[in-house]
Amino acid sequence: MTVETIFVLNGPNLNLLGTREPEIYGTETLADIEAATKIRAGEFGLAAECRQTNAEGTLVDWVQEAAASSAGLIINPGAYTHTSIALYDALKAAAIPKIELHLSNIHAREAFRRHSVTAAAADGVIMGFGAAGYRLAVEALKSLLERRVA
């Protein structure tokens, strides 16, 4: 049986998790979150390819790569959530199931963070659950994948 791969993409400053504003983002590092995400994916028979970049163009390239070579995508666009039309366009063009993810509840944050440019290109959005959101996103993505097969 072939194991399907999902991409888990993280945008700018998520490499600082564990030290950046732990009162908002928690104390788990990105490495901690990626390890837990890979375990959760494995429980569903999936492999998780986890990546992080601070560069918008790289994130767009990875979305396109995910669309061409993976079963689905979980993305935490970071600050690009609020600004990136290029990322929105890449997500919109990606004909795979997509979950947008945020550690914090963006609607309970500063006014400039309350709007997501990219959410309209996702199948669903998970936010406000901290690091546990990644595990929830894997479960949601698996559900979307199962509905596609049925």
DSSP letters for 14-34: GGGTTTS-HHHH-S--HHHHH
Task: Give the integer Cα–Cα distance in Å for 25 and 14.
Answer: 9
Contacts of 54 (CB under 8 A, 6+ apart): 11, 12, 13, 15
Structural domains of the chain sorted by starting position, each given as residue range(s) with its CATH number in brackets: 4-149 (3.40.50.9100)
Of 98, 99, 103, which Cα lies nearest the Cα of 131? 103
β-pair type (98-102, 46-52): unpaired
pLDDT in tens, 58-91: 999 999 999 999 999 999 999 999 999 999 999 9
Please, are residues 104 and 38 in contact by the beta-carbon 8 Å criterion?
A: no
Active site residues: 25, 102
Would you state the pLDDT for residue 150? 59
User: Can you list the residues of the chain whose pLDDT is less than 70?
Assistant: 1, 112-113, 149-150
CA distance 66 to 36: 20
